[in-house]
Amino acid sequence: MPSPISGFSKLTKEEKIDWLATNYSANTESTKTIIKKYWNTDSNLQQLHDEFIENTLTNFYLPLGIAPNFLINNQLLAIPMVIEESSVVAAASRAAKFWLDKGGFKTTVLGTEKVGQVHFIYVGDTKKLTNFFNELKPKLHEATKNLTHSMEKRGGGILDISLRNKTADLDNYFQLHCTFETKDAMGANFINSCLEQLATTLKEEANNYESFTPIEKKIEVVMSILSNYVPNCVVRAEVSCPIDKLNVTASLTPIAFANKIVRAVQIANVEPHRAVTHNKGIMNGVDAVVLATGNDFRAIEAGVHAYASKDGHYRSLTNATIEGDIFRFWIELPLALGTVGGLTSIHPLAKLSLELLQKPSAEELMQIIAVAGLAQNFAALSALVTTGIQQGHMKMHLGNILTQLGATEAQKEQLTNRFKNETVTHSAVADALKVLNTNK
C-alpha cells in the first residue's frame, strides 16, 4: 500500500508522473507512455492546458463535432458539440435538417437575472433587523461601487438587494438575496466579489447599529456565494409546423406521430423516472455546446434540474401541443452563460467554437444552446415513438464496439456493411468478428 505523499503539488510534472506510475499502476512504463502520448507537441499550447487546473499530468481528449443546418431566427448556423456519446451529433443534425424547411427554430430570451446570496445568522428582534436593513441598503450599494463600476458601464451590475427571512426553515437564518446583470460574462467572480463586500459591510454596520443589543450586533455570516439556480435567467426555443408536414416515418401518419410526441412529453411530465432520462437526453445537446464554448456544464446541469423541479415535482423541460392543425414543440431553460472571460477567452477551441457561431453575445449563446437541447429531444422522441432508440443509437455505436473488439479497418468496413440491415448488439458483433477471424 503506497504511503501518503507530502508536497505533491511542488513536484515537476515528470516527478508527479513517476510517483503515480510507480505507486498506483500495474505497468509503470505503459502508464507513463499513455500519459505522455496525449501531450500536445506544441509546448506553448501544452503549457496553456497545464495551467487550467492543478497537478496536471496530461490531456483527456473528447471529440469536437459539428451539427450543421440549424436555422435559428432565420440565421443558418453550424453548432460545435463536444461529447463522447455516439449518435448525439447525428441526432442533432437530423433534427436541424428536419426543421430547416419548416421555418427553423424561434427563440426568445425571457430574462438574464443572476443570483447571489449572503447567508447569515441573526439572533434577535426581526423587526429591528428589518429596520436595520432598510437603513443599510443604500450603504450596501455604495460599498460595492468600486466593484460594479466597470460592469455598470457595460449595462450590468447589482439589480437589487433584499432581506429574506428563512427562520421558518432554519432557526435564526436570514439572507441578503442579491440579483445581478453580468451581460456577456458568466460573472461568477464578479458576483462573489460583490457578495463578500456586502457581507463585510453587513457585519461592520451591524456592530455599530445602536438599536441592536450586544447579541444582535454579532451577526454571523456563514457564507457568501453565487447561486447556480437562476430561474429568471431563462431562454425559450420552439418549433412549429402544420401537422401534415410531420412526415417522419412511413409507419405512422403525421397526426399519429404528433399525438405520440405529445403523449411522450405528457408521460415525462407525470413520471419522474421517465422525466430524468427525457431531460438527460436534452442535456446531451445542451452540455455538448456548453463544453465546446468553454462554459461550466456542471453549473448548467445543477440549475436546469432544479428548474425542472421548481413546482415540487420533477418534470419534462420540453412541452408539446396540438392546436388545431398546428404542432408546437418548445423548451424553456435557465442558462447562465458567458462569452467573455474564463476558458471562453483562453481555450483555443472554445474561442474557435464561439467564432464558428459568429461570435454570439451571452444572450445569443443562450438561444443557440436551448435550440441544441430542443433538437436533441425531438430527435430522441421521434426515435422512441417510431423505431425505438436502439436502432439508430447502436448503428452509431457499432464503430466503438468494433474498436473495443480489436477489429482491423478492413473488418470494420465489412461488418459495418453487414449490420446495415441487422440488429446491432455487442454479442452479435463479437460473433461476426470471430467468424471473420476464423476464416482468415
| Residue 245 per-residue DSSP state | G
Helices (H) and strands (E) in the chain, counts: 17, 10
Alpha carbon of 148 to those of 137, 189, 396: distances in Å?
Answer: 15, 12, 49
310 and 220: one domain?
no
The percent of residues in the chain predicted with pLDDT above 70, rounded, is 97
Question: Model confidence over 366-383: pLDDT tens digits?
Answer: 999 999 999 999 999 999
Active-site residue, 142 included? no
CA–CA distance, 16 with 199 (Å, rounded to integer): 40
Domain closes at, from 227, 258, 289: 227
Instruction: Round the average pLDDT of the chain to a whole number and report it.
Output: 94
263 and 160: one domain?
no
Cα-trace Rg, the chain: 27
264 and 376: one domain?
yes
- Residues with Cβ < 8 Å from 140, sequence gap 6 or more? 161, 176, 198, 201, 202
Q: Is residue 2 part of a domain?
A: no
156 and 265: one domain?
no
Q: Which amino acid is at 391?
A: Q
- Residues with Cβ < 8 Å from 112, sequence gap 6 or more? 181, 233, 362, 363, 366
pLDDT at 340 (0 to 100): 95
Q: Which of 16, 260, 393, 395 is catalytic?
A: 393
What is the three-class DSSP state of 47?
helix
51 and 176: one domain?
no
Q: Is residue 434 part of a domain?
A: yes
Question: Model confidence over 303-342: pLDDT tens digits?
Answer: 999 999 999 999 999 999 999 999 999 999 999 999 998 8
Handedness of CA 288, 87, 371, 227 (dihedral sign): negative
CA–CA distance, 116 with 158 (Å, rounded to integer): 10
Whether residue 393 is predicted with pLDDT greater than 70 in this model: the reply is no
266 and 378: one domain?
yes
Active-site residue, 149 included? no
72 and 121: one domain?
no
Q: Which of 238, 296, 364, 395 is catalytic?
A: 296
Q: Which of 280, 305, 347, 412 is catalytic?
A: 280
- Residues with Cβ < 8 Å from 99, sequence gap 6 or more? 71, 105, 239, 241, 375, 378
pLDDT at 399 (0 to 100): 72
Residue 248 C-alpha cell reads as 417522419
383 and 397: one domain?
no
Please list the helix, strand and coil fractions of the chain in percent, rounded to the nearest 5, in that order: 50, 20, 30
CATH number at residue 169: 3.30.70.420
If one counts the domains in the chain, the total is 4
Active-site residue, 296 included? yes
Q: Which amino acid is at 275?
A: A
Q: Is residue 9 part of a domain?
A: no
CA–CA distance, 76 with 71 (Å, rounded to integer): 4
Q: Which of 18, 85, 125, 363 is catalytic?
A: 85
Q: Is residue 8 part of a domain?
A: no
CA–CA distance, 333 with 234 (Å, rounded to integer): 5
Whether residue 111 is predicted with pLDDT greater than 60 in this model: the reply is yes
What's the pTM value of the predicted model, to 2 decimals?
0.89
pLDDT at 434 (0 to 100): 81
Q: Is residue 4 part of a domain?
A: no
Q: Is residue 293 part of a domain?
A: yes
Whether residue 167 is predicted with pLDDT greater than 60 in this model: the reply is yes
Active-site residue, 141 included? no
133 and 56: one domain?
no
Range of the domain at 373: 66-111+232-387
143 and 191: one domain?
yes
153 and 262: one domain?
no
119 and 71: one domain?
no
Q: Is residue 333 part of a domain?
A: yes
pLDDT at 389 (0 to 100): 57
Residue 280 C-alpha cell reads as 438527460
Question: Model confidence over 39-48: pLDDT tens digits?
Answer: 999 999 999 9
Domain closes at, from 188, 208, 227: 227
